[in-house]
Amino acid sequence: MAGLHKSDFANPVVNWIDTRLPIFTMMQKEYGAFPTPKNFNYFWNFGALAMISLAIMIVTGVVLAMNYAANTSLAFDSVERIMRDVNYGWLIRYVHQNGASMFFVVVYIHIFRALYYGSYKAPRELLFMLGVVIFLLMMATAFMGYVLPWGQMSYWGATVITNLFSAIPFVGDSIVTWLLGGFSLDNPTLNRFFSLHYLLPFMITGVVFLHIVALHITGSNNPLGIDVKTPQDTLPFHPYYTTKDSIGVVVFLLVFASFVFFAPDFFNETDNYVPANPLVTPPHIVPQWYFLPFYAILRAVPNKLGGVILMFSSIAVLFVLPWLDTSPVRSARFRPIYRPLMFVLVAAFLTLGVVGAKPPEGIWVVLGRIATAYYFLHFLVLLPLLGKIERPLPLPESIARPVIRRTPDHTGGGGPMPQGATAKPMEKP
């Protein structure tokens, strides 16, 4: 329906704009008065931190692209020129390089938060799936970005990853040739990777927008995992969560800056300061740390196609997670079996990360297989079963009254329970 917006803003310029394009009203509604559960802990900072990371990556990336040359004979030297000759080039590149790692740290914690507090459950399934899409786009972007400096690790990491597709029966080799634009990783590959590395962050931005729109439709989950019931359960986003997020941002930037200024190559591989050589494979190829768990899953089976399928499944399983978990209770706080299993999952994932960095021999192969087995067991077997056998703890009545009155005869067993405290499925809003 067409028609001017009736704006409440007093400032005449703001009012004039807002009448024609109610962007100020929208910001006020979505980031000012937006009712947010009042019991957030610091895990709820990581969405904002991810957003800041994305912004930092785009800004530094755009500036780096002004001095980078996407050509196999120039790429390595142009990066070195950025490091030595370009004003503050060293700073911008180190921020960009470490920013990728920071972004992944933040996103991994953000995903952990979603798993631990059941943020993927109804009605937030689509919100969660959009998040997985963002994660996939991030991995593609990071992978292609790592190729651009054209060092030995860039070259051989990219060779190994693109060759994953050759495992596809019949059409695999044609697909690899198409991806590379030649019969081996070469100039056409570098050019297209640069083009896509520049494009994908903006696609990420687009999906982030959808992610946030979906979030503002369903509302945020919270550490108790119960629905907001009354206005007493919420606070306006500003100033309460703008302030809380600011504290997180300051701590995050402190950590970030410590790496940039005191250990800029902490996450890097020395071999990547050797220019790419298509005839010599470095003795030990490792991907960037944020890919290690998936790399370990790839190597867990001694079969090429099987490994590739398993690796892609490890992320695909997240897309169906909302339907694999059959328990109606969201937060792990009230799930006595799910909670310890969640920590086992984290341990398995971290183990995979360590295994991925080790040569595939001896104890590492065994550990990798056990951890991979648990990863899939957790999602595909334990989660569907838990909903049936687990007896959740009593849920609080509301966010505003999180503590259940403990009467002498309520000891958590089968005795009579206070009204509204039984573990019943949550009502859908």
When asked if residue 288 is in the footprint of other proteins (CB under 8 A), the reply is no
User: Minimum distance from CB of 184 to other proteins (Å)?
Assistant: 4
Q: Report 189-208 residues binding other proteins (CB under 8 A).
A: 192
Q: Does 164 bind other proteins (CB under 8 A)?
A: yes
How far apart are the C-alpha atoms of 326 and 255, rounded to whole Å? 38
Amino acid at 82: I
The answer to the question of residue 307 lying near other proteins (CB under 8 A) is: yes
| Candidate list 41, 270, 281, 326; residue touching other proteins; CB under 8 A | 281
Nearest to 52 by CA among 103, 111, 125: 103
Q: Which is nearer to other proteins, 66 or 279 (CB)?
A: 279
Minimal distance, residue 149 CB to other proteins, in Å: 19
Alpha helix (H) residue ranges in 164-223: 172-180, 187-218
Q: Where are the alpha helices (DSSP H) in 120-272?
A: 125-147, 152-163, 172-180, 187-218, 242-262
Listed as own residue / partner, the contacts of 195-201 with beta carbons closer than 8 Å and 24 or more positions apart are 195/70, 196/140, 196/141, 196/144, 197/61, 197/141, 197/144, 197/145, 197/148, 198/61, 198/65, 200/137, 200/140, 200/141, 200/144, 201/54, 201/57, 201/58, 201/61, 201/141
Q: Which residue number, 94 or 143, has a Cβ lying nearer to other proteins? A: 143
Interacting stretch for other proteins, rule CB under 8 A, among 246-254, 255-263, 304-312, 419-427? Answer: 304-312
What is the H or E stretch that residue 295 is in?
helix 292-300
CB nearer to other proteins: give 172 or 384.
172
Please pick, from the candidates 6, 20, 29, 284, the single residue that binds other proteins as defined by CB under 8 A.
284
Among 16, 29, 206, 278, contact with other proteins (rule: CB under 8 A): 278
Q: Least Å distance between CB 80 and other proteins?
A: 24
Q: Which is nearer to other proteins, 361 or 409 (CB)?
A: 361
| Bond prior to 275 in cis (omega within 30° of 0) | no
Q: Which is nearer to other proteins, 91 or 160 (CB)?
A: 160
Interface with other proteins, residue 183, by CB under 8 A: yes
**Lookup result for tokens 């990491």:** 157
Q: Which stretch binds other proteins (CB under 8 A): 87-95, 217-225, 276-284, 408-416?
A: 276-284
Within 13 Å, how many C-alpha atoms sit on residue 23's CB side? 6
280 part of the interface to other proteins, by CB under 8 A: yes
- In the complex, minimum distance from the CB of residue 166 to other proteins, in angstroms, rounded to a whole number: 8
In the complex with other proteins, the residue whose CB is nearer, 278 or 429, is 278
Q: Is 275 in the site for other proteins (CB under 8 A)?
A: no
| Contact pattern from residue 143 through residue 162 relative to other proteins, giving x for each residue in contact according to CB under 8 A and a dash for the rest | -------------x--xx-x
Nearer to other proteins, 100 or 298 (CB): 298
Q: Which is nearer to other proteins, 88 or 178 (CB)?
A: 178
Tokens describing residue 181: 């634009």
DSSP state of 393: P
Q: Which of 155/334 has CB closer to other proteins?
A: 155
Please check whether residue 110 is in contact with residue 50, taking contact to mean a CB–CB distance below 8 angstroms.
yes
**Cβ atoms 387, 337 nearer than 8 A:** no
Residue 238 buriedness (CB in 10 A; 0-12 / 13-18 / 19+): middle
What minimum distance in Å lies between the beta carbon of 281 and other proteins? Answer: 4
Nearer to other proteins, 166 or 398 (CB): 166
User: Is residue 184 at the binding interface for other proteins, with CB under 8 A as the rule?
Assistant: yes
Q: By CB neighbour count within 10 A (0-12 exposed, 13-18 middle, 19+ buried), where does 140 fall? A: middle
- Sites of contact with other proteins (CB under 8 A): 156, 159-160, 162-164, 166, 177-179, 181-186, 188, 192, 278-285, 299, 302-305, 307, 359-361
